[in-house]
Amino acid sequence: MLKIHLKIQRFNPEKDSKPWWGEYDLEAEETDRVLEALHNVKWYQDGTLALRRSCAHGICGSDAMRINGRNALACKVLVKEAGPKITVQPMLGLTVIKDLIVDMEPFFESYRKVMPYLVNDEDPGERERLQSPEERARFEDTTKCILCAACTTSCPSFWATSDYVGPAAIVQAHRFIYDSRDKAGAERLEIMADKTGVWRCRTAFNCVEACPRGIEVTRAINEVKLAVTMGRVP
Ligand code: FES
């Protein structure tokens, strides 16, 4: 068993005037992830600790948080890699509702803004709309996004200007702009060209480091910048 010391940023707006650190000592298995350590605290030491999680397998994206100063999914970080002293904080740039839970609504507002769905009113005919493997490959990487917000909330431009749609929304825009079946590319490029859009990216690369799915976020953003500059998908 590993002995670990967990320092968790706590804040209950109904009781606390400012955030404070909760400190917890516990034992963990070699194979435990930070999520299990947080469960240990919540279930056996302090039931008031608030966090989001669902799948526990890196799919739902609900447990993104700052672990030792870097955004990650708690269910994907092994305690033995993060420990023996682990600091856990809520993601930056979004309002804390309680402890590790942030208000995701501004994030999803930006997501909705880029029209994250296929637009094509043409009759698909007798068969589905086919694509070549090369056409599919153009947006393969950006289909992997799980909307955890780890990229957007690690971005200094997003911290500085909260009206910036952020990397995750641009990744979603890329997924449809580069889809040969989609017909709303011009509209999305206009949204991306807005002052809240793609030009707010300063290529800090924090998003690439934060993405738990290994998406080449900055590359996708640069491809959207290129399409905006050309007025079409190159
Ligand atoms: S709990 Fe679903 S991604 Fe971690």
Flag whether pLDDT at 182 surpasses 90.
yes
- Which residue type sits at 87? T
98 — phi, psi (to 5°)?
Answer: -165, 130
Pocket of ligand 1 from Cβ distances under 6 Å: 53-56, 58-63, 73, 75
Two structure tokens written together for 21: 């650190």
Pocket test for ligand 1, best of 39, 63, 101 (most atoms within 8 A of CB): 63
* Predicted pLDDT of residue 79: 97
Percent pLDDT > 70 in the chain is: 100
Q: What pTM value is reported for the model?
A: 0.94
Ligand 1 atom closest to Cα of residue 63 = 4
Kindly give, in sequence order, each residue whose CB lies less than 8 Å from that of residue 35, ignoring residues fewer than 6 positions away. Answer: 53, 56, 63, 74, 75
Nearest to 206 by CA among 1, 90, 82, 69: 69
* Predicted pLDDT of residue 16: 97
Ligand 1 atom closest to Cα of residue 52 = 1
Report which DSSP code applies to 179: -
Strand pairing category for 85-89 and 101-102:
unpaired
Given a contact cutoff of 8 angstroms between Cβ atoms, the answer to whether 87 and 69 are in contact is yes
Percent pLDDT > 90 in the chain is: 94
* Predicted pLDDT of residue 11: 98
| Cα–Cα distance, 84 to 24 (Å, whole number) | 12
